[in-house]
Structure 1
Amino acid sequence: MSERAKPIPQDTATGESTETEADESQSTDGAGQDSETEQQAENGDTAQAPPRTGATAVVDALETAGVEYAFGVQGGAIMPVYDALYHSDITHITMAHEQGASHAADAFGIVSGTPGVCLATSGPGATNLVTGIADASMDSDPMIALTGQVPTAFVGNDAFQETDTTGVTAPITKTNTFSSHADTVGRDVSEAFALANEGRPGPTLVDLPKDVTQAETDVEAIEPTTPDTYEVTERAEDDAVRAAADAIESASRPVMLYGGGVIKGDATEQAREFATEYEIPVVTTMPAVGAFPEDHELAMEMAGMHGTGYANMAITHTDCLIAVGCRFDDRLTGGIETFAPDAEVVHVDIDPAEISKNVHADYPLVGDAATVVEQLHEAIRAPPQTKKWRATCQQWKSEYPMDYRAPKDEPLKPQFVVEAFDEATEDDAIVTTGVGQHQMWAVQYWTFTEPRTWVSSHGLGTMGYGLPAAIGAKLAAPDQQVVSFEGDGSFLMTMQELSVAVRENLDITVAVLNNEHIGMVRQWQDAFFERRRMASEYHWCPDFAKLAEAFGAKGITVDDYDQVADAVTEALAYDGPAVLDFHVDPEANVYPMVPSGGDNGQFALEDDHL
């Protein structure tokens, strides 16, 4: 039930309404005319509107920006803003924990392409948002956080629930603001909203002292606008584009490397057209999954630590790497000295700070992804000759297929569960995940063909991200199926958000790949710490299906292969949240795997290869 659904309070003894006289004065007679208003009209009086406050300005700024949903948790210092939301058309989703609010807002921004909004009170409310803010920062996701703060006169005095929120979040926000006056607080929020999505997206924050949100103001809301000093380069320099185009034309083994910036920059269409017209194999980073259809013959899928063998081979042997919207993080590159060692690198990015930060760019192109790809497209005079190279890439696909053993006499394989869901859902179904082995199996064994259908925590690697993200994703795209893959350890971190999914009657499906371990840690301990499984094994795990039923969701337990298809069908058909507890092989590992800092071309396909 959303925050706007407010039941009439009743006397607990009599069951009769306990509305106050003020409440009763708002009821209407049979003619639909408030009696008090009639009397005022007869006397020539008009009812006074409540005074406009800083909190009103905050909410007006959100409404002017087109915000439909806000995710948060109430509290003392943020209470004036919530009071203003009472009269707003914005639907507030009360989350079980502020971290859940930040992840839901983050996912809403990923799926919708517009900033998600989260709110929390001062002190612990604000600090509980920090993990989600840092997550959005690492992944360049558009989000705005609004935090309550103690009155300005108390700031610095260690007041109750005081935290230096702007100081704490400065390293993990694109911008943050301590709002100091009721006349400027609306503009602060509008500006933060605009900055969250302009240029390279990211989280922004506005800290709202209680006296500022309670003070009166007559300043009206404005459209979201970035500061005059904020500039974004849209087009790359023509000479640089010409040089990069020449390099692409002369390449014999070119590879397109699409990063998350392709999706965030709405450049998917341009990226697909460029690759297909010039017949260049395409590799993606994990945040870019869905930027290029994985069922296309040019698709080499995801590269990096747990990328496909053929994607990593293509990266290792390319002579021209065209990277778009990619920050070259260590999970992609492995050891920098062995990453694409023979390649000239064309790097397109809207953030000049990313150019040559990790991998040297021979042809730096600063600008908007869609715009610069179009510039390159127009500049190419003769396409590269890729026939032989494409045949080599197809051969690698045959040599290093994404397959796995699934003997019937062994425990259920998690990969089989992912494939079963993929087969049973629509092409535009949205997948969210927590972090760990289940995340890797989900991205490896689901065939992604559309952008904004893969929602996960990449740079920060936040366990527990999947369920609250599914809530945000479903509200952003109510007509699309949403499946969240979680591990047992990851699910335990934020499973309280299941109460929100039930309350709001959200049709989401949670698949817990339950191996009774913190699986990725266990895999690394087995590989690199002589199987010393310290603090990675759960010797006891709750019954997740029963817990789901206790929350009011549908719960299903699955133990073997014969149960999978029916369970998946039943859960997807259920109108509301469903949780499936899949008891999977506790010894299953994620492969391919490149050891941290290793050579992408030397990936392991099984334990003995490490």
Structure 2
Amino acid sequence: MSQQSPVSETESSQQSNDTPVTNGAEAAVAALEAAGVERLFGVQGGAIMPVYDALYDADVTHVTMAHEQGAVHAADAYGVVSGRPGVCLATSGPGATNLVTGLADADLDSDPLVALTGQVPTNLMGKDAFQEADTVGITRPVTKANYFASTPNRVGDAVREAVSLAGDGRPGPTLVDLPKDATLGETDRAPDAPSTSTAPDSADAEAVQVAADALAAADRPVVLSGGGVVKGAASPELRRFATEYEVPVVTTMPGIGSFPEDHDLAMEVAGMHGTGYANLALQQCDVMLAVGTRFDDRLTGGIDSFAPDATVIHVDIDPTEISKNVHADHPLVGDAATVLAQLSDALPAAPDADAWREQCRTWKTAYSMEYDLPEDALAPQFVVEALDALLPADTVVTTGVGQHQMWAMQYWTFTEPRTWVSSHGLGTMGYGLPAAIGARYAADDDQSVVCFDGDGSFLMTVQELAPPVREQLDVTVVVLNNEYVGMVRQWQDAFFEGRHAASDYSWVPEFDKLAEAFGARGFRIDDHAEVEETLEAAVAYDGPSVVDAHVDPDADVYPMVPSGGDNGEFAMNQEQLDRL
């Protein structure tokens, strides 16, 4: 997916920014301003210093993060919530390499992101100069495109194109590597006007009609709504389509919020830890309208056993995703919102699926997500549900990765797009806290932002408590602390005879006290009776707060489909898992 894209010095000089520039760094900032970029996340350093100097008087707000990985995750989340590319900055060498995890994360999740990295002067490249690294070579596999701006005249256009491409078509991360002599060097070349989209819009009309006929004839239809529905701003079209034709809707993890989970047609999330009823709906459907999904292994389980009787209609803006993992009987390449409108216009009649809808309702009752409340321990699910009950429906939820991520996914009721911000494809622990910072800046002022984290995940980026304290950002972090790397412990119990090798985290600090040391408010919860009052106090605090919730260390995430298994054969508890 990646490509290195040099920018020609002889391209048309049609300009969209009248601000005069005198050097490459000013050209970079002018390109950001022309693209409407309002906020940057970064860490200062030697090779990127000229760009920071140009930002000093610019109409762009910079947020200094504690670590470059925090900067890239914050920028990523900013893009997820706002729908516009988030931008991060880092210096050369370790600054740039510290961005790699976040770039890979954004690449797998198709998040719009731009990274600007400093580089040693061109005359020192290849000579093992101080803080030199082959940033373009290192990041090529995990970017949609990357650029090396070798001269001052190339800088502005490279940055302009990187911002444009990051949000064009299927979104993704881009990077511009900026040698110090290029940013310091003189130029009067302002960036060209932003390029226009070349992504496909509508699908082939004849193919749409054939697919619509297949859907109309279905007895057991289902819509699978993926992350592309959210990124393509197609949630309204998907909701209209599903409700008008009364088709049950399953979502992928990245597709959470694309369809309201409190709707009668909602089957919620499918996959390894998805609901049993969502997995059954996919496994037993006869026609699947899959929109904006890449059919990754956490969704499908074993490909050979996935939706065995389904005729698959696959809508995606990226033709390389069609039939990559799951064969598409009806491939429809185009923008999700546009193609859904095409299908709606082409559908001759709604599917005759009364019996199927009744079956789906029966499954929702039979495999409900109810759980037991232990008498001597705090149920993590209870904490998630209690906070959900306290906050508005448009609250933005970020997470790290692990058991806490699954409990947040399962027990928070999502009804709006761009309110679920998590690491899906790469599964990056430590994502939640810096993501909450980016989400806070992107969200509306009256929206709440909360982060669910685990003790192991929170500890990976805990230094990012400093920026929200400094900026007095109103974010609430709830650490579901089981003193384990919980998902690892669960798998060790299930598949490694309970040998807890390097998963016991009883040595972690008291996070409520650590939060106070940073200048945030700290709270602690040990039992169910404390949950409501403590969460109310944490939410009411106008600034960053951290709730250290000491949850049941033996709590596991169910339902569960063993890796590569049949999604129709899910376990609701350990005893059932042992039989699979």
Report if aligned partners of 1:183, 1:219 keep a CA contact under 8 Å in 2: yes
Question: Which of 143, 156, 159 does residue 113 from structure 2 map onto?
Answer: 143
Distance 1:64 1:50 in 2: 12
Report if aligned partners of 1:545, 1:581 keep a CA contact under 8 Å in 2: yes
Report the counterpart of residue 206 of structure 2 in structure 1: 239
Distance 1:540 1:350 in 2: 47
Report the counterpart of residue 45 of structure 2 in structure 1: 75
Report the counterpart of residue 527 of structure 1 in structure 2: 494
Q: Does 1:561 align with 2:528?
A: yes
Report the counterpart of residue 470 of structure 1 in structure 2: 436
Report the counterpart of residue 186 of structure 1 in structure 2: 156
Distance 1:222 1:88 in 2: 19
Q: Which runs of 5+ in 1 are unaligned?
A: 1-48
Q: Secondary structure at the match of 2:500?
A: coil
Distance 1:50 1:430 in 2: 39
Q: Secondary structure at the match of 1:412?
A: coil
Residues 349-428 of structure 1: matches in 2 within 5 Å? 349-407=316-374, 409-428=375-394
Question: Which of 115, 128, 153 does residue 158 from structure 1 map onto?
Answer: 128
Report the counterpart of residue 431 of structure 1 in structure 2: 397
Residues 133-532 of structure 1: matches in 2 within 5 Å? 133-225=103-195, 231-407=198-374, 409-477=375-443, 478-532=445-499
**Distance verdict in 2 for CA 1:286–1:51, change over 3 Å:** closer
Distance 1:386 1:573 in 2: 47
Distance 2:380 2:462 in 1: 20
Report if aligned partners of 2:20, 2:188 keep a CA contact under 8 Å in 1: no
Question: Which of 77, 93, 115 does residue 63 from structure 2 map onto?
Answer: 93
Report the counterpart of residue 572 of structure 2 in structure 1: 605
| CA-CA distance at 1:231 after TM superposition | 3.1
| CA-CA distance at 1:386 after TM superposition | 1.2
Question: Which of 108, 131, 134 does residue 78 from structure 2 map onto?
Answer: 108
Report the counterpart of residue 119 of structure 1 in structure 2: 89
Distance 1:181 1:66 in 2: 24
| CA-CA distance at 1:549 after TM superposition | 0.4
Report if aligned partners of 1:173, 1:204 keep a CA contact under 8 Å in 2: yes
Q: Secondary structure at the match of 1:364?
A: strand
Distance 1:234 1:63 in 2: 28
Report if aligned partners of 1:313, 1:600 keep a CA contact under 8 Å in 2: yes
Distance 2:359 2:382 in 1: 29
Deviations 1:468-519 (A, max 9, x none): 0000000001331001000000000001000001001100000000000000
Moved more, 51-60 or 468-477: 51-60
Report if aligned partners of 2:512, 2:547 keep a CA contact under 8 Å in 1: yes
Percent identical pairs in the alignment equals 67
Question: Which of 581, 592, 598 does residue 548 from structure 2 map onto?
Answer: 581
Amino acid of the structure 1 residue aligned with 2:246: E
Report the counterpart of residue 100 of structure 2 in structure 1: 130
| CA-CA distance at 1:51 after TM superposition | 6.8
Distance 1:399 1:129 in 2: 45
Amino acid of the structure 1 residue aligned with 2:275: T
Moved more, 473-482 or 338-347: 473-482
Distance 1:51 1:472 in 2: 29
Distance 2:200 2:396 in 1: 32
Distance 1:541 1:64 in 2: 46
Amino acid of the structure 1 residue aligned with 2:139: T
Q: Secondary structure at the match of 1:601?
A: coil
Amino acid of the structure 2 residue aligned with 1:119: L
Q: Does 1:538 align with 2:505?
A: yes
Distance 1:204 1:405 in 2: 46
Q: Secondary structure at the match of 1:602?
A: coil
Q: Secondary structure at the match of 1:390?
A: helix
Q: Secondary structure at the match of 2:461?
A: helix
| CA-CA distance at 1:50 after TM superposition | 9.8
Distance 2:21 2:357 in 1: 68
Moved more, 109-118 or 531-540: 531-540
Distance 1:538 1:296 in 2: 39
TM-score (norm 1): 0.91
Moved over 4 A (4+): none
Report the counterpart of residue 9 of structure 1 in structure 2: none
Give the count of matched residue pairs: 558
Q: Secondary structure at the match of 1:74?
A: coil
Report if aligned partners of 2:21, 2:189 keep a CA contact under 8 Å in 1: no
Is the radius of gyration larger for structure 1 or structure 2? 1
| CA-CA distance at 1:221 after TM superposition | 3.0
Distance 2:320 2:403 in 1: 32
Distance 2:26 2:155 in 1: 10
Report if aligned partners of 2:483, 2:506 keep a CA contact under 8 Å in 1: yes
**Distance verdict in 2 for CA 1:253–1:50, change over 3 Å:** closer
TM-score (norm 2): 0.95
Report if aligned partners of 2:317, 2:334 keep a CA contact under 8 Å in 1: yes
